[in-house]
Structures are given as C-alpha cells and as structure tokens.
Amino acid sequence: MRVAAVGLIKDHFLRAFNAAGSLKKDDPFLSTMFLRTFGPILFRPDPPDLFGDVLEISSLEESPEPARLSECLSLYLVIFRRDVNNLVCNTRLVCLILITEHIIIRLGYGIKIW
C-alpha cells in the first residue's frame, strides 16, 4: 500500500508539471513546499534504522520496503530530470544531499554488512 502511495504522489507531480501555465503557478506539488512536506517522509527508510547492524538480508527481502525505496528513487529521478527550473528544489544540490544522506549512504552501509 505504501508503494502505491508513492506512485500516486509521483503521478500527481507529473500531472502538475504537465499542467497549463496558470495552473502550475499555485500547485503545491510544484513548489519547495513539496519536498518540505513529503521529503522527510518519503526519502528515508522505514523504519529509520532499517539498515542498522541487526538487519538480515532475508528479512529485508520479505518486507515491502525495497519496493517502496525503489519507487521513491524513481520519484526522485522524475523530480531531478523534470525540475530543470528548480521549482521543487531550491537547487539540485539540495535534492541530491537529501537522497544521498537518507537513502544511499544507509543502503551502502547495509550492503557492507551483508
């Protein structure tokens, strides 16, 4: 269910991004508010200590979290590729740091343990 929720957010972002000019102006999905609201929720493992010392690869494979993280990374890619005017991210660096800090580094740590 959480994977589908991320997909719905991505669909709404794309719909807002493809809307006519006047509709884009007031859409919260095309503002920095989008990442301030959804970023801390979406772009982190759930639970936050998912890639801690005690995680077994088999328990990760059985959980829906890999699919959710994959969908979140897909959303990030869509934002990064489509938001060339920095409507959502103040700068691309902010987006990159957000993803790197919350997912990539933790995932790399988990891979080292396995």
Nearest to 109 by CA among 60, 42, 41: 60
Q: What is the pLDDT of residues 46-81, one digit of tens each?
A: 766 666 666 667 777 777 888 888 888 888 888 888
**Distance from C-alpha of 58 to C-alpha of 84, rounded to nearest angstrom:** 39
Contact at 8 Å (CB) between 112 and 54?
no
pTM of the model: 0.74
**Distance from C-alpha of 75 to C-alpha of 69, rounded to nearest angstrom:** 10
